[in-house]
Amino acid sequence: MKRQNSLSDRRANITFKWEWLLVILIIGISIVNGRLSSHFWSYTGIMDALSVFLEKGFMVLPMALVLIIGDIDISVASIVALSSVLMAMSYKAGLSMVVAILVALATGAGCGYFNGLLISRIPGLSAIIVTLAGSSIYRGIAYILLGDQAIGGFPSWYSYLAWGYIGGTHIPFIIVMFVGCAIVYGLLLHRTAWGRKVYAMGINPVAARFSGVPVAKIKQIIFTLNGLMAGVAAVFLTSKLGSSRPNIATGYELEVIAIAVLGGVSPSGGKGGILGVCLSLILMRLLRYGMGLINVPGQVMMVIIGIVLVGVVMLPNIFGARRGRKRRLKEAQ
Amino acid sequence: MVGAEDKYILELQGISKFFPGLKALDQVNFNLRVGEIHAIVGENGAGKSTLIKIITGVHQPDEGDIFYEGNKVIFHNPTVANRYRISAVYQQPASFPHLTVTENIFLGHPIIHSATKRLMWKEMRQEAKRLLHSLGSDISPSATMNSLSVAQQQIVEIAKALSVNARVLIMDEPTASLTKRETEDLYNIARKLRNNGVSIILISHRFEDVYEIADRVTVLRDGKSVGTWKVSEITEHDLIKAMVGREINQLFPKSTVSLGKELLRVEGLSRVGYFSDISFSLRAGEIVGFSGLVGSGRTEVAQSIFGIAPADEGKIMIEGKEVSIKNPMEAISYGIGYLPEDRLEQGLFLPLSINDNVTISIIDQLTNKGWLNPPREYEISNKMLELLQIKAPGIFHPVSSLSGGNQQKVVVAKLLAAHPKILIMDEPTKGVDVGAKAAIHRIMSDLAAEGLGIIMISSEMPEILGMSDTIIVMHEGRITGVFSRFEATQEKLMEAAVEVNRSTPTPVIS
């Protein structure tokens, strides 16, 4: 029999073209970047370019799951802030840095669990309302706790997380961590029964329930994961910045959602995969890197990234519509 | 010829309407006199709704002509029908719940100051009040719609029709959710309108409505018009006969099997507002058919057994053991499978492959230590494809590209893949073509012969009569008749389904 396949693989077929599109864009931007900077095509150049904003990558992975089940989470940036602040305060209060890191992860998971509890158990509370409220609550608490201060002075090994390399090599530690997480999420989503149920929920939540999929439970787990990964991002981001303050990660939620959508994840659910999201992350980073090389101001960068997002997402629809029209014309004749 | 017809305000000649795989209307004739109440009756699926949609311009007929006051007209869309002053009032008023009564009445045709183009709210409120008064109602024009009862909302809808001087008023199941008192009021309003020259088309399942207010009645059956009678000249018995009187021309091959042990027993199952005191049992090899009109609570009973909306009271016993089923997952683990009526909404994942649809309920059992195990899945899907003779290029084909009948088979395949002992099938052949229908009936029969117990909800009389060992008729949330395969007739079922609520006592069926 012809080797075709089931959801996981067949999905890959659908996103196949999408992912190629991302690859082509990545190559294109890399060529431009290479022309702009002779440093770019060196190994260290690429590694540095990629590792800079990988903390967002940790947030994009679970956000893909949230979008695939047709929900959204706009509280993640605030969870990062609260996790970071609580971690810093725990350390300042005399706990060891390892325990403080665990506090950050627990804070993230706790906030995510709370989001998930409200969204999955209370009828009428949609994800957008709950996480909008959460967004303001979590960052609000961070401000109450720390005000305008910043907490720094972490142990020197802590900065290794964001800046360090794997012993003796030139492979950034954060890249290894991210790749590990991406593989775990990829396997979870594309190679387990649980992942199959996630797609089923996103495509038709009612039919999923009628088919015995524990819709509320899965939703709960996904939002908890999203919070947990925001905690992970907080640990790496704080390590990179060297200090914690309540206003860190402002605006990350939109960028994270944008990267997921650019990666082929449909905000209306049931579509997309981890590979696309990773490619999209790389694309976004290279774009920013290139614009940085030619000194594009931050505000202009935001405008360009917005245009790229809309443009790329639009492309397949334009082609699809044209093909559809051609087919209809053909049928009409 | 046309000139002779001008006593009719509306005349439909030879109207046909085709939907993919379905002839909804077949050469239907219908006419409406000025100032009469003309009832349309028929079983579920007889074509009443389609006919109404043609009269209101929602659908366009594929064949046939519509004459308005003797002139041929074409209702391209609802706006055109509105221009001919045709209005409809539905069972669940399609109003805007957060807007006021006045806003609802004048939506689409507000009173506007001719010079300033200002909305004249005061005038509209006064006019609304006048219209409502003329209907004998004292509803406040500034109340919001959602603060009103269904009966009051219907009155507002009627007022809306009057505000555009409707000449043809369609009332679709107007009394279905009204109390006795409200029903009486509605009758009075209908009579008053008729006396003022409005022509009313009344769609109703209740014979009481027909005999109380209608002048003439047209019977639809299987998309064809059976005939039109003066209400005073046709008995209820003959009317029922006209509604159901088709021959059972398809073969329903439920074979006789000896019934085995009791699989399911339901005692005193109730859910407030939906059904009450439902008791029955299901044995291995048995098909229990649930008959009754749409909205009689059959689906709700089925869904409570499957754990979608659990009952408030009563017992469910599976193979003698009392169980509590709180969600579909538990129901599936007890060996219950449910084929929902709305397969698109509740049964299928359209963009996914046949394989993914078939295996979703049992995907946990098919894994290898939690990892997906595609060969195992493909084996089961291929088996199902063959068993149910699903016409598709292969198990990797998306379900969205299959025909309705084959989609239905995919939902059945999903159920069977879980090896249920008890199957609940809600309208198993709704919307499927004749060939697939026969195939689904054969499958049901085979499954019963293998010792499954099947609960079948169906609004199709021949299906109920042909397939069921036992037939339970429901009406307004209660069981109003239980018949064995041998004693059931279409007339008896129809009487049990419609007559319970009548003011006169139900005639005893011998």
In this prediction, residue B501 has a pLDDT band, given cuts at 50, 70 and 90, of very low
Q: How far apart are CA B230 and CA B215, in angstroms?
A: 6
* Listed range (B89-93, B265-269, B469-473) with the worst mean pLDDT: B89-93
Find all residues with CB under 8 Å of A45, minimum gap 6, and list them: A37, A39
Say if B415 is an interface residue toward chain A (CB within 8 Å): no
Q: Which CATH number fits domain A7-295: 1.25.10, 1.10.3470, 1.10.15, 3.10.20?
A: 1.10.3470
Domain extent at residue B49? 2-244
CB pairs under 8 A between A and B: 91
Say yes or no: B103 and B191 in one domain: yes
Residues in chain A within 8 Å Cβ distance of B346? 206-207, 210
The per-residue pLDDT for range A231-245, each reduced to its tens digit, is: 999 999 999 999 999
pLDDT mean over B388-405: 86
What is the pLDDT at residue A131? 96
Say if A202 is an interface residue toward chain B (CB within 8 Å): no
> What is the 8-class DSSP label of residue B505?
P
* Listed range (A169-178, B241-250, B332-341, B371-380) with the worst mean pLDDT: B241-250
For tokens 């399911």, name the residue: B264
Q: Do B340 and A199 touch (CB under 8 A)?
A: no
Is B106 in contact with B124 (CB distance < 8 Å)?
Answer: yes
Say yes or no: B147 and B44 in one domain: yes
Residues in chain A within 8 Å Cβ distance of B349? 200, 203-204, 207-208
Say yes or no: B199 and B333 in one domain: no
Q: Do A193 and B370 touch (CB under 8 A)?
A: yes
> What is the 8-class DSSP label of residue B112?
B
Residues in chain B within 8 Å Cβ distance of A1? 394
Q: Which two tokens stand for residue B346?
A: 């509740």
Which among A5, A192, A210 has CB closest to B374? A5
Say yes or no: B11 and B115 in one domain: yes
Say if A43 is an interface residue toward chain B (CB within 8 Å): no
Say yes or no: B232 and B322 in one domain: no
Let me know if residue B483 belongs to a domain.
yes
Let me know if residue B390 belongs to a domain.
no
Three-state SS sequence of chain A: CCCCCCHHHHHHHHHHHHHHHHHHHHHHHHHHHHHHCCCCCCHHHHHHHHHCCHHHHHHHHHHHHHHHCCCCCCCHHHHHHHHHHHHHHHHHCCCCHHHHHHHHHHHHHHHHHHHHHHHHHCCCCCHHHHHHHHHHHHHHHHHHHHCCCCECCCCHHHHHHHHCECCCCCCEHHHHHHHHHHHHHHHHHHHEHHHHHHHHHHHCHHHHHHCCCCHHHHHHHHHHHHHHHHHHHHHHHHHHHCCECCCCCCCHHHHHHHHHHHCCCCCCCCCCCHHHHHHHHHHHHHHHHHHHHCCCCHHHHHHHHHHHHHHHHHHHHHHHHHHHHHHHHHHHC
Say yes or no: B67 and B141 in one domain: yes
Say yes or no: B108 and B236 in one domain: yes
Q: Which two tokens stand for residue A150?
A: 């910043």
Say yes or no: B235 and B299 in one domain: no
Residues in chain A within 8 Å Cβ distance of B414? 211
pLDDT mean over B136-153: 87
pLDDT at residue B229 is higher than 80? yes
> Structural domain tally of chain B?
2
Type and span of the H or E element at B14: strand B8-19
Over the Cα atoms of chain A, what is R_g?
Answer: 21
Chain A residue nearest residue B418, CA to CA: A211
Residue at which a domain ends, from B244, B270, B293:
B244
Let me know if residue B341 belongs to a domain.
yes
Paired strand residues for B230: B216
* Listed range (A48-52, A297-301, B407-411, B506-510) with the worst mean pLDDT: B506-510
The per-residue pLDDT for range B184-206, each reduced to its tens digit, is: 888 998 999 999 899 999 998 77
The per-residue pLDDT for range A44-68, each reduced to its tens digit, is: 778 877 887 789 999 999 999 999 9
Go through B107-132 and write b for each residue having 16 or more CB atoms within 10 A of its CB, e for each that does not: eeeebeeeeeeeebbeebbebbbebb
| % of residues, chain A, pLDDT over 90 | 64
Does the CA dihedral B306-B310-B311-B315 come out positive or negative? positive
The per-residue pLDDT for range B362-378, each reduced to its tens digit, is: 999 999 888 999 999 99
Q: How far apart are CA B401 and CA A8, in angstroms?
A: 19
Parallel, antiparallel, or unpaired for β B86-89 and B168-172? parallel
Number of Cβ within a 10 Å radius of residue A121: 11
ipTM rounded to 2 decimals:
0.84
Per domain, the residue ranges of chain A are 7-295, 299-333
Residue B363, min C-alpha distance to chain A (Å): 6
C-alpha distances (whole Å) from B224 to each of B20, B91, B220, B234, B388 are 18, 24, 6, 19, 32
In this prediction, residue B252 has a pLDDT band, given cuts at 50, 70 and 90, of low
Order of all β-strands in the sheet with B478-484: B336-339, B422-426, B453-457, B287-292, B470-475, B478-484
Say if B373 is an interface residue toward chain A (CB within 8 Å): no
pLDDT at residue B386 is higher than 50? yes
Residue at which a domain ends, from B197, B218, B244:
B244
Amino acid at site B91: Q
Q: Which two tokens stand for residue B403?
A: 């025909």
Chain A residue nearest residue B335, CA to CA: A212
Phi then psi dihedrals of residue B13, to 5 deg:
-120, 120
In this prediction, residue A16 has a pLDDT band, given cuts at 50, 70 and 90, of low
In this prediction, residue A290 has a pLDDT band, given cuts at 50, 70 and 90, of confident
Let me know if residue B274 belongs to a domain.
yes
In this prediction, residue A6 has a pLDDT band, given cuts at 50, 70 and 90, of very low
The per-residue pLDDT for range B101-118, each reduced to its tens digit, is: 999 999 888 888 888 888
Q: Do A211 and B328 touch (CB under 8 A)?
A: yes
Residue A5, min C-alpha distance to chain B (Å): 6
Q: Do A191 and B364 touch (CB under 8 A)?
A: no
State the CATH number of the domain containing residue B134: 3.40.50.300
Instruction: Write down how long chain A is.
Output: 333
What is the pLDDT at residue B23? 79
Chain A residue nearest residue B352, CA to CA: A7
Say yes or no: B209 and B266 in one domain: no
Residues in chain B within 8 Å Cβ distance of A203? 349-352
The per-residue pLDDT for range A120-134, each reduced to its tens digit, is: 999 889 999 999 999
Let me know if residue B365 belongs to a domain.
no
Residue at which a domain ends, from B193, B215, B244:
B244
Say yes or no: B290 and B336 in one domain: yes
Q: How far apart are CA B120 and CA B442, in angstroms?
A: 65
Closest CA to B358 of B418, B423, B296: B418
Say yes or no: B197 and B293 in one domain: no
Let me know if residue B125 belongs to a domain.
yes
Say if B366 is an interface residue toward chain A (CB within 8 Å): yes
Type and span of the H or E element at B73: strand B71-73
Residue B7: exposed, middle, or buried by beta-carbon count in 10 A (0-12, 13-18, 19+)? exposed
Chain A residue nearest residue B337, CA to CA: A211
Parallel, antiparallel, or unpaired for β B37-41 and B86-89? unpaired
pLDDT at residue A91 is higher than 80? yes
Helices vs strands, H then E, count in chain B = 16, 20
Paired strand residues for B470: B288, B484
pTM reported for the whole predicted model: 0.74
Q: Do B360 and A5 touch (CB under 8 A)?
A: no
Is B30 in contact with B47 (CB distance < 8 Å)?
Answer: no
In this prediction, residue B279 has a pLDDT band, given cuts at 50, 70 and 90, of very high
Q: What interhelical angle do A54-68 and A215-241 show, nearest 10?
A: 170
Residue B291: exposed, middle, or buried by beta-carbon count in 10 A (0-12, 13-18, 19+)? buried
